[in-house]
Amino acid sequence: ESPADPKNPKAGKWSFKPRGRLQIDTASVSAPSAIGSKSLGLATEFRRAYFGFDGTIPGNFGYRIEADIANSSIDPTDVYLNYTGIKNLTLTIGQHKPFESMEDTESDLFTSFMERASFNTAFGFERRLGLSAQYQKGMVLAQVGVFTDNVTDLNADTDNSYSIDSRFALQPKLFGGQAHIGGSAHYHDLNDSSATVRYRARPFTHTTDIRFVDTKAISALSETNYGVELGWTGGPVHFTAESQWMKVNRPAGIADPTFNGGYVEAGVFLTKGDTLPYKASEGTWTRIKPRNGVDKGGIGAVQVNARYDWLDLNDNGVLGGRQQLVGASLLWVPTDYVRFIVDYGHLWLKDAAVAAGADRNYNADVIGMRAQFDF
């Protein structure tokens, strides 16, 4: 509304930008027919359908209000106010991501596969209402925040859980490219007398609701988790790997299990001049901008990626199962804001939570396709 004050132009001005994204997914899950579930086979869905606004307010404030309507319900995503009046620092209040991992911090618009690595969903990463500070200067990134729960769970006025979340990274230039060496540490107090946690993951696609690995609900008092992160991008190639350990503090007299997951990924562009960009201020990968987009008469960017992903939900008396997968993906990015993905994964299940007849050790295959745009 009002322009920047000419005497104090750094205080910012009003801006407003609509935001939206759509991801349409089709995928097929092949698994032993002895499982006997209609959730196998082909399925189609809106993976995400966001819309909202963001912008800036004079006085160095910024805001975002956005929600996902893909499930024909309202699921608030980023809904926050921030302050950028102190150099290199961003203060944020509202619902946002609590710096759980490198891939969780990355926008779902930019991931190399249709879904993030299994541990990201298995360990319950989600946006939460909280207060955080993010500092980035030179080759150092530090993020720290205190959070309560996500706003949907906070509709229960008895929810007084809280967490302290932190993430650090070094961002050196190495071997002619950009490197990322990071880690995160988190403590989450459920702060409620009869709380439980549940860890589980879908098989490489969100179109099915089956989870071959699943701890079911287990009693818990708090969670402590740690992650390590590595990344490198240079020219057409990138490499990235993460692992995370989730320790559950269970009530007195019950052993405390620690679950682990992670992935190793490499990718390369087949189209000349394209690269996977790194966003230093957030410490993660960002939008691919094709050098020769179809809007310039080119064919856009084409990238292939390979990944090994593991998730181990067996420990100390909890038998949630182990899932390993090897996946490959082909991305076609005709313009900055449009993307098509085809990916394929082969899964090895051990001690699966869903039995195939009497068998809990079996394999599965998943093939998926996505059409996506955002603005």
Task: Work out whether 59 is an interface residue with a second copy (CB under 8 A).
Answer: yes
Placement of tokens 């929600």 in the chain: 67
Task: Work out whether 348 is an interface residue with a second copy (CB under 8 A).
Answer: no
Shortest Å, Cβ 224 to a second copy: 22
Residues in the chain: 375
Task: Work out whether 319 is an interface residue with a second copy (CB under 8 A).
Answer: no
User: Which range of residues in 41-49, 180-188, 276-284, 351-359 is near a second copy by CB under 8 A?
Assistant: 41-49
Q: Which is nearer to a second copy, 63 or 239 (CB)?
A: 63
Task: Work out whether 361 is an interface residue with a second copy (CB under 8 A).
Answer: no
User: Which range of residues in 46-54, 107-115, 318-326, 358-366 is near a second copy by CB under 8 A?
Assistant: 46-54
Name which of 285, 367, 369 is nearest 111 in CA terms.
285
Task: Work out whether 331 is an interface residue with a second copy (CB under 8 A).
Answer: no
Q: List binders of a second copy among 1-20 (CB under 8 A).
A: 5, 7-8, 11-12, 14, 16, 18, 20
Query: Using CB atoms within 10 A of its CB, is residue 167 exposed (0-12), middle (13-18) or buried (19+)?
Result: buried
Q: List binders of a second copy among 141-160 (CB under 8 A).
A: 148, 151-152, 154-155, 157-160
Q: Is 191 helix (H, G, I), strand (E, B) or coil?
A: coil
Q: Do 265 and 239 form a contact (C-beta atoms < 8 A)?
A: yes
Please state, in angstroms and rounded to a whole number, the distance separating the CA atoms of residues 346 and 181: 29
Q: List binders of a second copy among 243-282 (CB under 8 A).
A: none
- Antiparallel, parallel or unpaired: β 162-170 and 140-147: antiparallel
The H or E element containing residue 81 is: strand 75-83
Shortest Å, Cβ 232 to a second copy: 29
Task: Work out whether 335 is an interface residue with a second copy (CB under 8 A).
Answer: yes
Q: List binders of a second copy among 69-128 (CB under 8 A).
A: 69-76, 79-81, 85, 93-95
Q: Do 207 and 25 form a contact (C-beta atoms < 8 A)?
A: yes
Q: Do 141 and 182 form a contact (C-beta atoms < 8 A)?
A: yes
Task: Work out whether 203 is an interface residue with a second copy (CB under 8 A).
Answer: no
Placement of tokens 């939206």 in the chain: 20
Q: Which is nearer to a second copy, 161 or 171 (CB)?
A: 161
Q: 215 to each of 68, 131, 248, 309, how far by Cα in Å?
A: 27, 31, 12, 18
Shortest Å, Cβ 183 to a second copy: 28
For a second copy, the binding residue among 33, 34, 42, 316 (CB under 8 A) is 42
